[in-house]
Amino acid sequence: MKKKSIFAVVALALGMTLWASTSDNVIEEVAWMIGDEPIYKSEIEQAYQEMLSDRTPIAGDPYCVIPEQIAIERLFLHQADIDTIEVQESMVQMQVESQLNYLITNLGSREKVEQYFRKPFAEIREYYATNMRNRSRVQQVRNNLTKNLKVTPSDVRRYFDRLPADSVPFVPLQVEVQVLTINPVIPRQEIDDVKARLRDYADRVNRGESDFSTLAILYSEDGSSVRGGELGFMGRGQLVPEFAAVAFNLNDPKKVSKIVETEYGFHIIQLIEKRGDRINTRHILLKPKVAEKDLQDALVRLDSLRTDIVDKKELTFEEAVGYVSQDKDTRMSRGVMVNQQDGTTRFQMSELPQEIAREVGKMQPGDISKPFIMVDPKRNREIVAMVRLTNRIDAHTANLSDDYQTIKDMYENARRQEIVDKWLADKIRTTYVRVEDGWRGCDFQHKGWIKTANQ
């Protein structure tokens, strides 16, 4: 742990409060000591205020829960030092920028973020960077502790058999779905019109007649329009390749890029600032619209295909997917949709795109929907789709035959927690810990913090 002056260590070990040398004002009140590192009352208060502002639920007295959480983090970080665990700084900065962009979007501007936190933006950035580094290092220690965990089907079965009845999870309605989509071609004239508008915006900015951010607020079809098109600092890997290739070659903040086409539409970009391997830009996004006639033609085409599958039985849904579907994520898997949250083929209704959920809610297993128009959630453009309901698992109390993966996950999580708790108990027992008067009257989650023999 970090080294301190002899006076500080002795004073803290004796439970003293540190005083300013030139006045009678208290600098910091020490609440806990973990090894030679203090947990200050101000740290606890700051964490409490953040939990309140984030509406994070606190299970118990915050002046008991929070210092224990900080103490546990200190133990993990000390182990991370021993194991020489480091984090990828580019990943930390990526997470920080994402958080700061979220704050700016929700509070309205960088200045309002500073007002909310009552700190300069640079301090807010460093605070989040430190938190995210620590969080990453703690997670790596936890992963190292449990990396050798192996689970067999018999382990899962024994775990399930011993579960109290009130601990067996209730599984909501789930469905398995196949999808077939057509992406109608956008008319060339529509694309030309979009490019002409973007060229006009770029010329107006380059001539000094208009401000890029104002045009972004007025015309951009991206969520960043509320911030004048500003994206915040991002690494190359956070941006789609076509956008990144142009953005990272910009050097003059007064000039606007050429038109860039990505899967989201057409952009023009303005450089704000470069900082190492990260860049902050503004952009204006326009999305060419699919013509109503082309959508209707695609509906007719899929309706005819449905007749061939359902009525004429000339081909299967899976065969039709291989011949017709333009959805790159499902075409090679016979149209089977995969839940990105857990990697399974099962979806709760709320996890499906709303248009698909609306159709599936009216279907029975084996049914194929009529064609319908939906918004592609990735590209945010209209497409035409048809779905087949493969399986419907009604809401039920979990059982091994239908919900093995769910129960296996529960068992693995329980075993991981047992391993971590055992490690923590040993660390608490062998680490110098002092909890000051006024902070002891707690029902702590972990035992052994109060070392009565030493105090």
Q: Which pTM was predicted?
A: 0.67
φ/ψ bin of 222: left (φ > 0), alpha (ψ from -120 to 50), beta (otherwise): beta
Q: How far apart are CA 124 and CA 117, in angstroms?
A: 8
- For 1, other C-beta atoms within 10 Å of its C-beta total 13
417 or 227, higher pLDDT: 417
Asked if the model's pLDDT at residue 119 lies above 50, the reply is yes
53 or 333, higher pLDDT: 333
377-388: pLDDT as tens digits? 777 789 999 999
Write the DSSP assignment of 234-270 as a string of letters.
EEGGGS-HHHHHHHTT---TTSBPPPEEETTEEEEEE
**Which sequence spans correspond to the domains of the chain?**
171-186+291-397, 188-286
- Cα–Cα separations (whole angstroms), residue 187 to 3, 20, 199, 341: 68, 73, 19, 35
Of the candidates 361, 442, 454, the residue with the CA atom closest to the CA atom of residue 64: 442
Task: Place 116 in a pLDDT band, splitting at 50, 70 and 90.
Answer: confident
Q: How far apart are CA 228 and CA 182, in angstroms?
A: 34
Q: Is the dihedral of CA 269, 275, 276, 278 positive or negative?
A: negative
What is the CATH T-level fold of the domain 188-286, as seen in this structure? Chitinase A; domain 3 (3.10.50)
Contacts of 406 (CB under 8 A, 6+ apart): 169, 171, 398
The pLDDT of 110-134, averaged and rounded, is 89
348 or 376, higher pLDDT: 348
- For 231, other C-beta atoms within 10 Å of its C-beta total 21
The DSSP call for residue 336 is B
Q: How far apart are CA 387 and CA 299, in angstroms?
A: 13
pLDDT value for 349? 94
Hey, what CATH class is 171-186+291-397 in? alpha beta
Q: How far apart are CA 83 and CA 77, in angstroms?
A: 10
Task: Place 250 in a pLDDT band, splitting at 50, 70 and 90.
Answer: very high
The DSSP call for residue 442 is -
Q: How far apart are CA 109 and CA 103, in angstroms?
A: 8
246 or 57, higher pLDDT: 246
1 or 387, higher pLDDT: 387
Structure tokens at 283: 């952009």
- Cα–Cα separations (whole angstroms), residue 72 to 86, 194, 215, 396, 398: 19, 55, 50, 38, 34
pLDDT value for 28? 80
Dihedral over alpha carbons 89, 94, 100, 101 (to 10 degrees): 160
